[in-house]
Amino acid sequence: MLRNRRLWLGLIFSVGCLVLAMVDIDFGEMAAALRSANLAWLAAAALTVLLTNSAKSWRWRLLLYANPIPAAAGESPPVRIGLGRLTNIWTAGAGVNLASPVPRSGDLLRVYFASIAGGISKSLVLGTIAAEKLLDIVLLAACFLGLVLFVAIPQELAQRQITTVGVALTLTLIVATLLWQRERLLGLSGRLLGRIPRGAQAADSMARALQGLEALRRPGRLLALSVLSVAIGFLSVSTAYLVFLALDMPPSWVQSLLLWVVLQVGGVVPSTPGKIGVFQVLCRWTLGLFGVSAALGLAYGILLYLVAPLLLMILGALALAVEGWRIGRLPPDLDLTLAPASSQDPATSRET
């Protein structure tokens, strides 16, 4: 029932946003803009989406293999997953995140696939995804602070972004404290959890999850992750910039950056799978701040949606099919618990 309510709430919200996106639209102007779009620039924008996926997968691999992964008792030794396989798993998870009404279900799918492909603890994989999200939030907050110097941001957007900055600072302090006091925290949790049934297993899962944050403790690895995160942000903003060129609009890095920030923050609201309606109205509203007509803003939102979210969902569906073929038919009731993987599929135990 809870899922159904969220789905219906998202559906109503998305339909409302879609109606708002089409209010006062000159459909003739919008159609003319879409017909005149430069396909070469759109192809270049789609290429930046593919490069962004590759960079995010590379960053995930640096997080995953910051240190050698120990084998758990009774389990086969972990196997290093190749970058190509990891990119496929990341793409499948990202596509499911966009297409599924269940929040962050794609991340849980990444945990499942990575644990099967490499014989890695699910808790450890979940820790690396948490580190990945922290890097994204910090980058988003830094971009917002940079925009304050160039753009007069409306009060409602500024308040939402200030919340993002506060969340980023809070999470950074929490993670820094966890990493600084890691041994003491693990010792204390081990003593406390050891007194309850299955407490030792919970303590082991916590230790593995903290191991997923290990890359953030190493200056050299943290520098590489930071550089990759900046590159990911630049590629994402470049996608928006290239769509300006495709529509023969005056390109602007400031507008592209603000649009990326707004879409990242606005994407967390409940909506239909694929963010249809929400995505388009955010594009129209953001570009309207710079005097772009409603019809041209909506045309921009449609094209950006085609080369970014829609392309990612299509690639995610293909990647999901490939992973399903690789590990065999998935069981009807997929167990996505956070307990360590208890077995390893020998068919996927080699690096690909």
Contact present, 37 and 302 (Cβ < 8 Å): no
Q: What is the pLDDT of residue 344?
A: 40
Q: What is the pLDDT of residue 46?
A: 96
Q: What is the pLDDT of residue 163?
A: 61
Q: pLDDT averaged over the chain?
A: 77
Q: What is the pLDDT of residue 76?
A: 59
Alpha helices in the chain (DSSP H): 2-22, 27-35, 39-64, 83-99, 105-118, 122-147, 155-180, 182-193, 199-211, 219-246, 253-266, 278-288, 294-305, 311-327
Q: What is the pLDDT of residue 343?
A: 39
DSSP state of 212: T
The low-confidence residues of the chain, meaning pLDDT below 50, are 1, 73-74, 330-352
Q: What is the pLDDT of residue 187?
A: 60
Q: What is the pLDDT of residue 222?
A: 87
Rounded CA-CA distance 71/86 in Å is 20
Q: What is the pLDDT of residue 53?
A: 94
Q: What is the pLDDT of residue 223?
A: 92
